[in-house]
Amino acid sequence: MTHLRDIQRAMQQSVLVCDAKPALAIVADSQGATARDRLHVYIHAYRARLAEVLGNDFGGTLAMIGEKRFGELAQAYIRAHPSREFNARWYGEAFPHFLSTTPQASENPAIGEMAKLDWGIGLSFDAPDEPSVGPKELEGLAPELWPHMRFRLHRSVQRLRFEFNVAMIRRAADRRDPIPEAARLAASQGWVVSRMDGRIFHREISDDENAALAVTASGGSFADVCDELCLWHDASDVAMRAVTLLRDWIDSGWLADLVVESGTSPVSDFN
């Protein structure tokens, strides 16, 4: 008698290699349909289901390259990446990297970048709920303490960098507008995806903002942010720029966990 594990391995092998043969011996003949046809129901369903998962999670990529091309690349990924996750929510995690590196998608280097944006939007969508720092938390803070403020980024914030106009394409796809042609940008752009009140937002950030945000994300203080901005602006403009960025980040809900380590470092010249 064939054991349970052998049956499961044979069935799984048939599904993964897209061939009824490994499981033919364990399936009983019966009227109405051949064993081969019966096995192909599972073989087909596996590919169709995972392709649907990828289509749902990579809506911008699907809109950019069309159903036929997306389907071909999805099937290539499905062949190369059997799922190891119990939750299909995570099946597409390696899809952006696959699209960025496989020769099969080399005709358009924007594809992998688009997929990174799609995945980032998904991560932001169901990131943990947590309070953002609000303006009132800063209102009560003495100016001399501002240099010592530290934050971390809200867990819905995804920082991305694009060489192509993928954000514009995703926006058009979300609005069901005509999809623009993929095109390389004059210079690479930083983008932030975030969530506020359950809704997803994404916007371009300038290079100085990107650098300042990186300092904040890595645990730097507001004084460190100002030091970073000194590399981008005249010293006389830095304080105003830093405060403007901080206000924008707070209004966008990008910051969490305000901590002020007073007395641990000298007060910055900027306040």
Partner 1 sequence: MKHSDPRYPPLGFGLGLRVQHYEDLLSVDHGVEWLEVLSENFMVDGGRPLQYLERFRERLPLVMHGVSLSIGSCDPLDMRYLRQLRTLAQRVEPAWISDHLCWTGVDGTNLHDLMPLPYTAEALKHVVERTLRVQDFLGRRILLENVSSYVTYAASALTEWEFLAEVARQADCLILLDVNNVHVSARNHGFDAQEYLSGVPANRVQQIHLAGHEEGEALIIDTHDAPIVDPVWDLYGSALRRFGGISTMIERDDHVPPLEDLLAELDRARAIAGAQLSVAA
Among 17, 80, 94, 129, binds partner 1 (CB under 8 A): 129
Element (H, E) at 216: helix 207-217
Which CB, 29 or 139, lies closer to partner 1? Answer: 29
Min separation Cβ 133 and partner 1, Å: 17
- 243 touches partner 1 (CB under 8 A): no
Q: How far apart are CA 171 and CA 176, in angstroms?
A: 8
Nearer Cβ to partner 1 (62/169): 62
Nearest to 169 by CA among 102, 107, 110: 110
- The count of residues in the chain is 271
Q: Using the minimum distance from each CB to partner 1, give the nearer residue, 42 or 232.
A: 42
Give the number of other CB atoms < 10 A from CB of residue 107. Answer: 9
Instruction: Report residue 80 as tokens.
Output: 């190369």
Chosen residue from 53, 99, 121, 133 binding partner 1 by CB under 8 A: 53
Binding pattern for the stretch 190-209 against partner 1, x by CB under 8 A and - elsewhere: -----x--x-----------
Task: Please choose, out of 25-33, 108-116, 180-188, 229-237, the segment that lies near partner 1 by the rule CB under 8 A.
Answer: 25-33
Q: Is 80 in the site for partner 1 (CB under 8 A)?
A: no
Find how far residue 251's CA is from the centre of its chain.
22
For residue 188, give both structure tokens. 């690479």
Q: How far is the CB of 240 from partner 1 (least distance, A)?
A: 35
**Does 263 help bind partner 1 (rule: CB under 8 A)?**
no
Nearest-angstrom CA–CA distance, 4 and 263? 67
Choose the stretch contacting partner 1; rule: CB under 8 A; options: 21-29, 58-66, 160-168, 175-183. 21-29
Q: Residue 95, interface with partner 1 (CB under 8 A)?
A: no
Exposure pattern of 48-72 as b/e (b: 16+ CB <10 Å)? eebbebbbebbbbbbbbbeeebbbe
User: Taking the CB of residue 198, how many other CB atoms lie within 10 A of it?
Assistant: 7
C-beta separation of 209 from 128 below 8 A: no
One of 19, 22, 27, 109 touching partner 1 (CB under 8 A)? 27
Among 50, 114, 157, 213, indicate the residue that binds partner 1 (CB under 8 A).
Answer: 50
In whole angstroms, what is the distance from residue 54 CA to residue 41 CA? 20
- Which positions touch partner 1 (CB under 8 A)? 1-5, 7-9, 11-12, 15-16, 23, 25-28, 30-33, 35, 37-39, 41-42, 45-46, 49-50, 53, 82-89, 91, 125-130, 155-156, 195, 198
